[in-house]
Structure 1
Amino acid sequence: MAARKVTIVDVARAAGTSVSSASVAMRGDPGVSETTRAHILRTAERLGYRPDQRARRLREQHTRMLGVTFRVGQSFHAEVLENLYRAVGNTGYDLVLSARTAERSETDAVESLLADRCSALILVSPEISALDLAAVRRRAPVVTIGSDLLAPGVDSVRADDRDGVRAGVAHLVELGHRDITYVDSPGAVLAGERREGYLEAMKRHDLAPRVLTGGSDEESGIAVATRLLEHGPLPTGLLAHNDMTAFGVLLTMRARGVDVPGRLSIVGFDDTRLAGLRGVDLTSVSQGAAALAATAIRRAVGRAEDLDEPSREFVTPAHLVVRGTTGPS
């Protein structure tokens, strides 16, 4: 059975003081003598008492907490979260996370953070309408990451996805590929930007586009690869909406004896940790998660502290990371 958590009441009782005196001593506020304060602090240390910082902040008008929504199971979101924690480190703020799942919507995730009285919200690739985003902004400062969704008063931080896909096509063209297929993910955040980048690049290189409907996970990549193998034709180059889809294609092709990159070159998007694993070695477009996170934290802290600036859209460069899944045609 887990030990009961030591409370401020336990500290006061053991020290022989009132709860209010114990609270004052623990906060470092004036109101008790230095002798009494030292006695209370020694008692707290002996009992193993740890103040509940989150509860204390909730009692304050300015909580110095930044709420973050994200989707469970998305590798890119996990990378963004890791970099958000790095970026927030020296700001005096903490992060509070609220996940989206198949059963828990963006609205549910946001409401939980608003109930915690977060000073500002950071929404990672939010699955929400512009109208709803504007409604959230009326209740708290908001910064979005990885979305082309815009609303008055909301700062937007995203990579140049369109240019990133164009770089992927250009890389394949330089390798001699002319039959280049794109696997789309209709309805996904920034899907339109990435698809348009592909279509623009193919037109620029005077190549015929071919867009296949897929999704944002491994299963959709497996389904696309199976369809290509069974019904053809198999292209020489393929770009996927994200790394998870590309990974599904890669696994299936290798399992069916297709030489990657000898017969088929594959490019993903997001440059997640998965892409760099030995045995995957996926060529992928990086959104630059560290730069996105640093910019988002800077704007969220500024908004929380009443930064008097108009909202802005920050578009950071995307760049291609070449690995072992692309080669000459």
Structure 2
Amino acid sequence: MSELQRRPTLMDVAEAAGVSRALVSIVMRGAPGAAESTRQRVLDAARQLGYRADSRARLLRSSRTKLLGLTFSSSQPFHAEIVDAAYAEASARGYEIALSAVASGRPEARAIETLLDVGAEALIIIAPTLNVEDLALHARQVPVVSLLRDNVGDLVDSVSSDDYAGIAIAVDHLVGLGHSRIFHVDGGTAVSSDRRRETYRTEMIRRGLQPVVVPGGPGEEDGMGAGQILQADLPTAVIAFNDRSALGIMESFRAAGISIPADVSVLGYDDSHFAKLSYVQLSSISQDAPLLAAAAVGRAVDRIEGAKSPGSVVRTPHLVLRKTTARAPAAT
């Protein structure tokens, strides 16, 4: 292993000092935001490890790179659709996109660190899981735009879809088709799951209907498991947390001989490319990935080029009708 490969990194210092990589960066740059005791702990750890700042990385960060760093989850197809749209919007604004995936064994903090090291002038983080304090630390270095999550504090820009409106549209659609036994398969711990779940409950109760939430998650296997639970007390309609969950629910129903939509209507969320497949034709709530991506890139570029204060953009989703929702079956 070469000397360069053996050189301690900011992350090494962060782990030794028991702080975040962003906080180490702040200390090393002499920027405000760290308590004196923390600053001293970081400097001691750096000295013990023999950390030396990478002059090449510092030079890169001191000049314009015209790079927007974008993190995404490699397991979420909807994120990939946002990435596709972000490339086009960034190019139109004279910028390039640098991607960094959040994957198994590669946490969000590492994905962000990589983008900062290549000189990203702003970060766009899709559905961030970091807490508000860690996001704020990054926002003290470069502008940060949170995409699909808006409870991110005062230092971070946000671009999100109105989950309240989306679920209200979903319930309205199914009630309008004569459904009253409408169940919701939630997204577990996924970003936006709690908001969609509580909005579903509120919308059902507001209409004098009984809400029933079935535990789920963001993936097809989560939907399959929820579908097994639903078969024990079959509703006439299901609102899934997202399209991937809906696909799992549909597969579970079909394997059991339950017809969609004759027996049960299934409504997804995201209007991902899966929903559009000719053999799926899933009705879904669209979050308009291109519009969300354009708004996020716009916020990042505006902040780089002089906008002083973080802002919030909220877009209203809409219903895309296909073949998995229909009128409620007649009572027998």
Per the alignment, residue 130 of structure 1 pairs with: 132
Per the alignment, residue 64 of structure 2 pairs with: 62
Letter in 2 for 1:270: D
Per the alignment, residue 314 of structure 2 pairs with: 315
CA contact (8 A) 1:166 1:200 kept: no
Q: How far is the alpha carbon of 1:305 from its aligned partner?
A: 1.8
CA deviation digits over 1:160-188, x for unaligned, max 9?
A: 01110111111110111010100112221
Per the alignment, residue 34 of structure 1 pairs with: none
SS in 1 for 2:173: helix
1:115 aligns with 2:114: no
- Which structure 2 residues correspond to residues 240-279 of structure 1 after superposition, within 5 A? 240-279=240-279
Q: How far is the alpha carbon of 1:60 from its aligned partner?
A: 5.9
SS in 2 for 1:150: coil
After TM superposition, the score normalised by the length of structure 2 is: 0.79
Per the alignment, residue 153 of structure 1 pairs with: 155
Q: How far is the alpha carbon of 1:199 from its aligned partner?
A: 1.1
CA distance in 1, matches of 2:311, 2:189: 25
CA distance in 1, matches of 2:264, 2:273: 22
> Runs of 5+ in structure 1 lacking a partner?
1-54
Q: How far is the alpha carbon of 1:89 from its aligned partner?
A: 1.7
**Residue in structure 1 matching 2:96, options 86, 94, 97:** 94
**Which of the pair has more CA radius of gyration?**
1
Letter in 2 for 1:201: E
How many residue pairs align between the two structures?
A: 271
Per the alignment, residue 200 of structure 1 pairs with: 202
- Which structure 2 residues correspond to residues 281-320 of structure 1 after superposition, within 5 A? 281-308=281-308, 310-320=309-319
SS in 2 for 1:63: coil
Q: How far is the alpha carbon of 1:314 from its aligned partner?
A: 0.8
**Percent of pairs identical after alignment?**
41
Q: How far is the alpha carbon of 1:149 from its aligned partner?
A: 2.6
Q: How far is the alpha carbon of 1:228 from its aligned partner?
A: 2.2
CA contact (8 A) 1:127 1:189 kept: yes
Q: How far is the alpha carbon of 1:152 from its aligned partner?
A: 2.2
Letter in 1 for 2:235: P
CA contact (8 A) 1:66 1:94 kept: yes
Per the alignment, residue 228 of structure 2 pairs with: 226
Q: How far is the alpha carbon of 1:255 from its aligned partner?
A: 2.0
CA contact (8 A) 2:154 2:310 kept: yes
CA distance in 2, matches of 1:271, 1:164: 12
CA deviation digits over 1:114-156, x for unaligned, max 9?
A: 1111110000111111111111111211011101232222110
Letter in 2 for 1:178: S
CA contact (8 A) 1:286 1:320 kept: yes
CA deviation digits over 1:248-270, x for unaligned, max 9?
A: 00111112211100000000110
CA distance in 2, matches of 1:218, 1:210: 20
CA distance in 2, matches of 1:64, 1:124: 20
Per the alignment, residue 47 of structure 2 pairs with: none
CA deviation digits over 1:262-298, x for unaligned, max 9?
A: 0000001100010011111101101111111111111
CA deviation digits over 1:199-226, x for unaligned, max 9?
A: 1210121100000111110000011112
Letter in 2 for 1:157: V
> Runs of 5+ in structure 2 lacking a partner?
1-56
SS in 1 for 2:204: helix
CA contact (8 A) 2:287 2:317 kept: yes
CA distance in 1, matches of 2:187, 2:142: 31
CA contact (8 A) 2:303 2:310 kept: no
Per the alignment, residue 76 of structure 1 pairs with: 78
After TM superposition, the score normalised by the length of structure 1 is: 0.80
Letter in 2 for 1:287: Q
CA distance in 1, matches of 2:327, 2:270: 23
Q: How far is the alpha carbon of 1:76 from its aligned partner?
A: 0.9
Provide the alpha-carbon RMSD of the alignment. Answer: 1.4
CA deviation digits over 1:46-79, x for unaligned, max 9?
A: xxxxxxxxx9x93761111000000002011011
CA contact (8 A) 1:161 1:287 kept: no
